[in-house]
Structure 1
Amino acid sequence: MNKANTVPADLNRSLAHLADVVDQRRDAFKAGQADPKTSYTALLFSKGDDGILKKIGEEATEAVMAAKDARHANLAPEQQKLLVGEMADLWFHCLIALSQFGLRPEDVVGELERRLGTSGIEEKAARKANGND
């Protein structure tokens, strides 16, 4: 896949826009204005924390399997497309979870930016030392 053709010029803006849509649909569901029978997003929110988190687990498993299939197929274009689709599903469901807990992708991006330039090994050791791991 050609990265130049698939990455939006402003990835943060795209994620924020999608999160806005998810938040609007969450609010519509909570206000009784979105029917879980006709809205997939409302259906997810109707399942509560456990249902949303279970769905992330399912999507993560599907993404892992697609990655393994892509590797075994030597990253054939059709397998790359499947992997990207599964990752998109996983990211979408993660946006649902963030919204459920009153968080935004900007929070995640901020944390990733905070970690820039820090060794992953050092970061994990610091979290463990603080009792956060």
Structure 2
Amino acid sequence: MTQSTQTSSSNPASTTDTLMRLAAIIDSRKGGDPDISYVSRLFHKGDDAVLKKIGEEATEVVLAAKDARHGGAPKALVGEVADLWFHCLVMLSHFDLSPADVLAELERREGMSGIEEKALRKSRDREQNGD
């Protein structure tokens, strides 16, 4: 990370706190009035609306990354990633999960190569399927 893009929130504890606070706000919108809350509206619309929004935001991240690579504003990419992360938090809440679940999985994988992790997943899948 370059000096110009670092902020006080680059502290891991601060970042985790931010995610947890935002997740708590999102959770509080469950059962809320869909006429006055965007998040409540997504929850009210159900799985397909939440998942469609993830797809839309992921596509916007890809396009912003391509633009940033070709002279576009890196700040636009950061904004799109923030939108994606936000909607991922909505999805996690919708499925009764939290950022802590994702962080625990990342911690489990820490120090393990991607190739090794993928091989372990394939092995577990074969065992579960009786292969």
Would the TM-score normalized by the shorter structure come out above 0.5? yes
Q: Does 1:130 align with 2:130?
A: no
* Inter-partner Cα distance in structure 1 for 2:85 and 2:96: 16
Contact 2:9-2:15 within 8 A present in 1 as well? no
* Inter-partner Cα distance in structure 2 for 1:64 and 1:39: 27
What are the within-5 Å matches in structure 2 for residues 1-133 of structure 1? 1-5=4-8, 7=10, 10-26=14-30, 29=31, 34-73=32-71, 79-131=73-125
Deviation, 1:93, is 0.4
- Count of residue pairs the alignment pairs up: 122
The TM-score normalised by the length of structure 2 is: 0.86
* Inter-partner Cα distance in structure 2 for 1:38 and 1:80: 32
* Inter-partner Cα distance in structure 2 for 1:15 and 1:97: 14
Query: How large is the Cα RMSD of the aligned pairs?
Result: 1.6
* Inter-partner Cα distance in structure 2 for 1:15 and 1:112: 15
Aligned partner letter, 2:115: I
* Inter-partner Cα distance in structure 2 for 1:4 and 1:23: 27
* Inter-partner Cα distance in structure 1 for 2:104 and 2:70: 35
Query: Which structure is richer in relative contact order (CA contacts within 8 A, separation 6 or more)?
Result: 1
Matched residues, percent identical?
A: 57
Where structure 2 has 5 or more consecutive residues not aligned to the other structure, the ranges are 127-131
